[in-house]
Amino acid sequence: MTADLFESVGDARPARETMAEGAVVLRGFARPFEVELIPALRTIVKQAPFRHLITPGGHRMSVAMTNCGSLGWVSDPSGYRYDGIDPNSGHPWPAMPPVLRAIAATAAAEAGFAGFAPEACLINRYVPGAKLSLHQDKDELDFAAPIVSVSLGLPAIFLFGGLKRSDTPRRYRLEHGDVVVWGGPSRLFFHGVAPLADGEHGIFGRQRINLTFRKVR
């Protein structure tokens, strides 16, 4: 990641696209936060570098990830779980910077979920070809809180299905700065990311960075 600055979109209200009841795409919502966001991400990754987790089935995930906040999401042969300690370093995960909390809280409020206070921010790095299979976010204890997902870098195709894995997912192209929020009736909908197409983003190069905020307890 570089320190190049982005052009602000000003004070215009972001475009809203409804995906389902309780689920929206807020186009360009994160762009006004970029000047603070990029150095904050750089600091987090320096403290807790990206790594490819191993699933309980023994597969290496194509998406590299790290975390910040009081809890981080981890996976290994023993299962999926949240932990306050980075297993690579033995130290707590980096604290969640105020700019990340602000993005999560304001996007959630914009989508109708006021008072969102995430404990975990999963930071995923996609390179061309990386994908995320359809899944539910159900390792949390608090399903009343929404999920807030921020897209940075290369565009991606977000797959958003229903409560059953067999439900045909709809496809949404997410550009740099778009934020997806889903909760309420859509909180446990299956979702994923199609294989990332190759390209070159002016700031992030040949990669997509995704921030996913969750309230765990």
CB atoms within 10 A of CB 141: 11
Q: Strand ranges (DSSP E) for 21-175?
A: 23-27, 64-69, 72-76, 79-83, 120-126, 132-135, 147-153, 156-160, 170-174
Question: For residue 134, is it within any domain?
Answer: yes
Q: 45-64: per-residue pLDDT in tens?
A: 999 999 999 999 999 999 99
Question: For residue 133, is it within any domain?
Answer: yes
Number of domains in the chain: 1
The whole model's pTM is what? 0.92
Q: 89-128: per-residue pLDDT in tens?
A: 999 999 999 999 999 999 999 999 999 999 999 999 999 9
Whether the CA torsion 67, 163, 76, 70 is positive or negative: it is: positive
Tokens of 76: 């290994």
What whole-number distance in Å separates Cα of residue 110 and Cα of residue 16? Answer: 9
Question: For residue 162, is it within any domain?
Answer: yes
Here the CATH number for the domain that contains residue 146 is: 2.60.120.590
Question: For residue 1, is it within any domain?
Answer: no
Domain that holds residue 74: 15-214
Nearest to 104 by CA among 78, 133, 69: 69
Question: For residue 10, is it within any domain?
Answer: no
